Amino acid sequence: MNQPKSWIEIPENSDFTLANIPFGVYSKGKGHFAVATAIGEYIVDLDMLHKAGYFGLLELPKNIFSSRYLNPFIALGKEKTNAVRKYIQELFTKGSTLEKDSKSLVNVLHKQQEVKMLLPVKVRNYTDFYSSKEHATNVGVMFRDPENALLPNWLHMPVGYHGRASSIVVSETLIHRPNGQIKDPAKDKPDFGPSKRLDFELEMAFVIGKETQLGDMVSVNKAEEYIFGMMLFNDWSARDIQVWEYVPLGPFLGKNFASSVSPWIVTLEALEPYRTKAPEQSVEVLPYLKEKQRTTFDIQLEVAIATKEAKETVVCQSNFKHLYWTMPQQLAHHTINGCNIEIGDMYASGTISGTTPESFGSMLELAWKGSKPLQLADGSTRVFIQDGDKVIMRGHAGEGTQRVGFGCVQTEVLPAKNIEI
């Protein structure tokens, strides 16, 4: 399907074509915010469009686009949010009435590099899954019996844990290296200090767009009705803190110091043309996890590391379609016990690793527990992330005028803060 041409100049290989129309929130300064979309190099202020009368036929609430978060907009439901997205596509198609409305456009269009994007949703609850068979196998080989790399439950359910919602931050938010307890295998007792094994995890997250009540369960075959859209997600991990604390209750301080997300939420409707078959599951799952149509999305992903001395080095190229457990299975399992979900809840996929070394989605795997240092463009090597490094994640589906991209999530690491004892 050919996408109609926009009257806005859209650069080649732009993530933000008319086929996309993601949603985000930007700061207008002095405590004022606006919901926006992105087209080419511009952000589009939807609040100003609304005030100019362009959404009148859709009967939207008066201040729906002047909110700090997307939650109220998402709560309108997919019928309404999809109608808004399609109408925006019409407005920015060549020959539309908006193209000739120079008076309104003064306040509507802004260059992306000139605005500050914000965390787009108020994250009510956050869950992190562990859904890549390749990643789980790699970790099992490194830390357990290679012949039994996967734990017995892994092929029967999408394993996950409840994380910390308050420390999810938007792209370009600086983070500090975390402090914590670290146990040297050669010592009898742990030491305290900054993590020496700071790692990224290449993930994607989905955002809930329809809530349930306590006791309700979401069917695996209706789960996408509850998913508004997707984002890039960097699940930061302090491996040395994590390995000492995770038995018996799992991730805690090694994970909750920060998670970084991209500022734009791409709707499932925009990704629909890139639906593809999900990996075949080797063990028959229980009925509540069986999908009538087992599909996922073909989203190309990459991770780069940029240093102060040199341009970035791409260290990972993977794809969302590699995940063994799909989003519908994750959500169905999450709610099978009656756990209620809320608008704005965020669910991360777990590290997305492929079958080849260059597709591994973490430094733990790429440098194979420190035994295979990565060479960067400035001549330095890495086994884990150092202070001053900037980790950049990108993702997109399709190409050309049909490209649907997520922009990027980039985060610079600062030294650990001094601790007062």
Would you please indicate which residues are annotated as catalytic (active-site) residues?
Answer: 135
Q: Give the start-end residues of each E strand in 334-418.
A: 346-348, 374-375, 381-382, 390-397, 404-414
* Three-state secondary-structure class, residue 68: coil
Question: The tokens of 42 are what?
Answer: 């511009």
What residues pair up with 259 in beta bridges, in sequence order?
A: 168
Q: What is the arrangement of strands in the sheet containing 404-414, beginning at the earlier edge strand?
A: 175-176, 404-414, 390-397, 300-306, 313-319
Pair 58, 80: CB distance under 8 Å: yes
Angle at 218 between CA 212 and CA 221, to 5 degrees: 140
Pairwise CA distance, residues 5 & 14, whole Å: 14
Q: What is the DSSP string of 203-231?
A: EEEEEE-S---TT----TTTGGGGEEEEE
CB 125 within 8 Å of CB 165: yes
d(CA 147, CA 352): 22
What is the C-alpha separation between 92 and 103, in angstroms, rounded? 15
Looking up tokens 């756990």 gives: 339
Q: Which of 331, 321, 332, 323 is nearest to 287 (CA)?
A: 332
Distance CA(21)–CA(404), nearest Å, equals 8
Three-state DSSP class for 117?
strand
Whether 370 and 193 have beta carbons less than 8 Å apart is answered as: no
DSSP 8-state code for residue 218 = -
Radius of gyration of the CA atoms of the chain, in A: 22
* 160-162 and 374-375 strand pairing: unpaired
Q: How far apart are CA 362 and CA 384, in angstroms?
A: 9
- The owner of tokens 């036929």 is 57
